[in-house]
Amino acid sequence: MAPGGVGLPSSPARGGATAEVRALVPDVAALQAALAAEDYLADEGLATALFLAVRLPQPILLEGEPGVGKTEAAKALARALDTPLFRLQCYEGIDAGEALYEWNYPRQLLAIRLAEASGSGIDEDALFGPEYLLRRPLLQAIEHPGPRPAVLLLDEIDRADAEFEAFTLELLAEAAVTIPELGTIRAAVPPIVILTSNRTRDLHDALTRRCLYHWIEYPSPERIAGIVRRRVPGSSERLAVDTATAIIRLRSLDLVKPPGIAEAIDWAAALAVLGADRLDPHHVVQTWGSLLKNRDDLDLALARGADWVAGS
């Protein structure tokens, strides 16, 4: 059961965010505005989620339909905080060598040969010095000197296997990594961690327990229009609104792959390149390809007709 009425946090003391971050992100509205300044329109829920992730700080797990802006959220947060983003795309079989660090073996071999040729002895310490270390995203994020924390994006964590998940968590909880030859590297500023998942498998409880969680809903037409306006230079207000409405209309069909925000942006960009300042059936016919990427879906939309999509 939950710790009965004693409600003091029993988790290890996390200092909370540094004063600088606190000043930068005083409240949810400020973060929302900062993200908007980076052309990322977050609704209240997402802004709250990111705010807590930054301020607690605690890793956050973002889920949502494909193309709803999970990865983009991490990028925008990094820009808003003006810190580097380290992204680790997870895949099956990913291991420490690809996520954390690897020694630059070809270079080491080269150095050995060179030392032999020149007759000078080889110093093993030199061979395992920082210059022979290939830093992968996790290590980069931990080594980030600050002053503000880096943003670490673990994209599609569900694709990695459970062992990797556990390894990553341990590392993040410690915010330190031990490399046998070099010693322990401790994070000066623990990174802000954002994980995304497509739910191809159930994530381990240990992971979900340590993370905040936010399901990103598909945005309203107004928000889509706003996003399109910001992301597609040269799109007119009218075009943005038309695009958003048409996308919502298409989503009402029983599509295999309903167009997401990414498709909305691509589509509006395509329309803008074609010189459209509003949506008409002719433009729809020209640009099916940037909108629907599945034969069945296309058939379904064609049955309704371009006029219907364009709303005319």
Partner 1 sequence: MAELTERPPADAAPADAAPRVEPAAFAAGFVASLRRAGLPVSVDGAARLAESLQVLPPSQRSVLYWTCRIVLLSSRNQLPVFDAVFSAVFDGLLDPADQRGDPNAPPAIGSEASTRPAPRDDLAGRRQEPQGESGARAPAPAPAAGPADPGAVERETILMFASLERRLHTTSFALLSAEETEQVRHLVRRISLSTPLRRSRRVRPTHADGARLDLRRTVRAAHRTGEEPILLVSSRRRERPRRLVLLCDVSASMEPYTRVFLTLLQGAVAGANAEAFVFSAGLTRLTRQLAIRDADAALASAAASTADWAGGTRLGDSIRRFIDDHGRRGLARGAVIVVLSDGWALDDPAVVAAQMARLRRLAHRIVWVNPRTVAPGFQPLVGGMNAALPYLDAIVSGHSYAALGELADLIRAERLDLRSRPGTTTSTVPEPEPPTKGHDHAA
Nearer to partner 1, 66 or 311 (CB): 66
Note whether 296 binds partner 1 by CB under 8 A.
Answer: yes
Distance CA(192)–CA(268), nearest Å, equals 33
Contact code string over 147-186 relative to partner 1, x by CB under 8 A? -----------xx---------------------------
Residues 206-225 that bind partner 1 (CB under 8 A): 208-209, 211-215
In the bound complex, what is the minimum distance in angstroms from residue 26's beta carbon to partner 1?
Answer: 11
Among 67, 68, 70, 83, residue whose Cα is nearest residue 34: 83
Residues 41-60 that bind partner 1 (CB under 8 A): 44-45, 48-49, 51-52, 55-56, 58, 60
Nearer to partner 1, 53 or 291 (CB): 53
Note whether 6 binds partner 1 by CB under 8 A.
Answer: yes
Residues 94-153 that bind partner 1 (CB under 8 A): 94-95, 97, 102-103, 105-106, 108-109, 112, 122, 124, 127
Q: How many residues bind partner 1 (CB under 8 A)?
A: 61
Sign of CA dihedral 9, 14, 17, 19: positive
Q: Which of 21, 34, 35, 61 binds partner 1 (CB under 8 A)?
A: 61
Note whether 299 binds partner 1 by CB under 8 A.
Answer: no
In the bound complex, what is the minimum distance in angstroms from residue 149's beta carbon to partner 1?
Answer: 15
Sign of CA dihedral 217, 220, 226, 232: positive
For partner 1, which stretch binds (CB under 8 A), given 147-155, 198-206, 229-237, 278-286? 198-206
Among 225, 272, 276, 275, residue whose Cα is nearest residue 247: 225
**Residue ranges in contact with partner 1 by CB under 8 A:** 1-11, 16, 27-28, 44-45, 48-49, 51-52, 55-56, 58, 60-61, 63, 66, 91-95, 97, 102-103, 105-106, 108-109, 112, 122, 124, 127, 158-159, 198-203, 205, 208-209, 211-215, 256, 296
